[in-house]
Amino acid sequence: MPTRIDSLIHATWIAPLEPEDIILSNHGIAIHHGRILAILPSDEARATYVADDDIELPGQLLIPGLVNAHTHAAMSLFRGLADDLPLMTWLNAHIWPAEHRWISEEFVASGTALAAAEMLRGGTTCFNDMYFFPDVTAKVCADAGLRAMVGLIVIDFPTAWADSVDAYFDKGTQVHDTWRAHPLIHTAFAPHAPYSVSDAPLERVRLLADELEIPVHIHLHETVDEISQSLESHDQRPIARLERLGLINPSLVAVHMTQLLDSEIALLTERNANIVHCPESNLKLASGFCPVARLLDAGIDVALGTDGAASNNDLDLLGEMRAAALLGKGVAGDATAIPAHTALRMATLNGAKALGLDAITGSLLAGKAADIVAVDLNQLCTQPVYDPVSQLVYSAGREQVSNVWVAGRRVVRDGALTTLDETEQLANAQTWRARIAER
């Protein structure tokens, strides 16, 4: 007699990511209690299981949920506020003053909900955030059914979240303790950048991150100016400074990394550090080019992030995959660099590994959480299909995401959000635009 389970999803193609580069045709994924039980041919699946929710998705591709490894989710409310500016002008003259005026629990709740809706609708099931009021971000994501790693931010100057370095650590560890047992919410220390965090707090981050066994998420080697400033202030490049402080290690999640020497790549390889590539944000801010192909060839784990919607200006990880693949080829001068399957891996399993969540998510394997995305390839722009992953990376748009599951919960059903109200998010965004624009 077939075993009764929660869900059985059948699709024309499945890209499980493990084993690497495998495409399964006409298979089904069996899900029960939020986890993947098995992936097997559809005929065998129907003979083995009877599901409360049996779903047929002809012409669609199932992939692991996308992992956005670097965001500032609440900054969605600053989308388009200050465009076409270099990074430090953008930060100093526009973003930091706007944050000083507007950052509050209400702002973070509204901005994060808007970002969560956008990410879920685009197939992102897990994201790594760096922003103020991480406790608010955690609650919004838990309620929305979105997996999140919230950043316990550290920065040298006072903000609406904390008025001193000690307060950042006190509040951050409280957030960690509050959410440590939640199945969808994880934490990482998030010192903003080497130019905004001094040595003593960085040393404290390393000690506490080691004690709590959580990642350290930081902007690093983002621009030429950052390198010059570090040489002037510390007589060291930022990576050398972090190495001196013991932070170049397997827990490091280093974002941007557009300015790298061969010796620094060798150090990152030796220390098993993780890198998050944000191609569209780097291009828009003219920050430089991350040497992704060289990093991957060196054996470094390279994940993908969108950065915040104030500097990208979207949270579209499918678009980021395409940009990473195309830019990677151009930077390497090699058309074989960053093939489609590698780009998908960067947006899924590599991101999960960088965050230390690869035992939970990032690939479709029995025992892992059922974080799954269905992409409808039955569109003019993705036909004919020779390799569904190539079509996904080079042709598909996020509007083709049809269904999304996080831990077995269907958070997008036939293109519609089920845990967030799209009309409410649009209204909130327009309210905030009016308030911010008036000032």
Say what the alpha-carbon torsion angle 186, 205, 152, 154 is, to the nearest 10 degrees. -160
- Residues 310, 379, single domain; the answer is no
Q: Contact at 8 Å (CB) between 340 and 389? A: yes
Q: Does 266 map to a domain?
A: yes
How many structural domains are present in the chain?
A: 2
Residue 360: half-sphere exposure toward Cβ, Cα within 13 Å: 21
Residues 87 and 111 in one domain: yes
What is the reported pLDDT for 410? 98
Question: Same domain, yes or no, for 242 and 377?
Answer: no
CATH code at position 31: 2.30.40.10
Domain that includes residue 387, residue range? 3-64+363-407
Q: What's the confidence (pLDDT) of residue 371?
A: 99
Domain final residue pick, 329, 354, 379: 354
Residue 376's nearest CA partner among 395, 360, 359 is 395
Yes or no: say if 276 and 320 are a contact pair by the CB < 8 Å rule: no
Walk along the chain (439 residues) in steps of 10 and give the mean pLDDT of each run: 95 96 97 98 96 97 99 97 89 90 96 98 98 98 98 96 97 98 98 97 98 98 96 98 98 98 98 98 96 98 97 97 98 98 98 98 98 98 98 98 98 98 97 90
User: Can you give the pLDDT at residue 88?
Assistant: 85
Torsion from C-alpha of 99, 315, 35, 182, nearest 10 degrees:
0
How does pLDDT run across 337-391, given as a tens digit for each residue? 999 999 999 999 999 999 999 999 999 999 999 999 999 999 999 999 999 999 9
**pLDDT at position 87:** 82
pTM exceeding 0.85:
yes
For position 273, what pLDDT does the model report? 98
Are the C-beta atoms of 152 and 188 separated by less than 8 Å?
yes
Q: Which residues contact 276 (CB under 8 A, 6 or more apart)?
A: 69, 70, 128, 253, 254, 255, 256, 302, 303, 304, 305, 351, 354
Q: Considering the domain boundaries, does residue 72 fall inside one?
A: no
Identify which of 194, 289, 303 has the alpha carbon closest to the alpha carbon of residue 238: 194
Residues 254 and 393 in one domain: no
Do residue 348 and residue 368 come from a single domain? no
Measured distance CA(26)–CA(375) in Å, rounded: 15
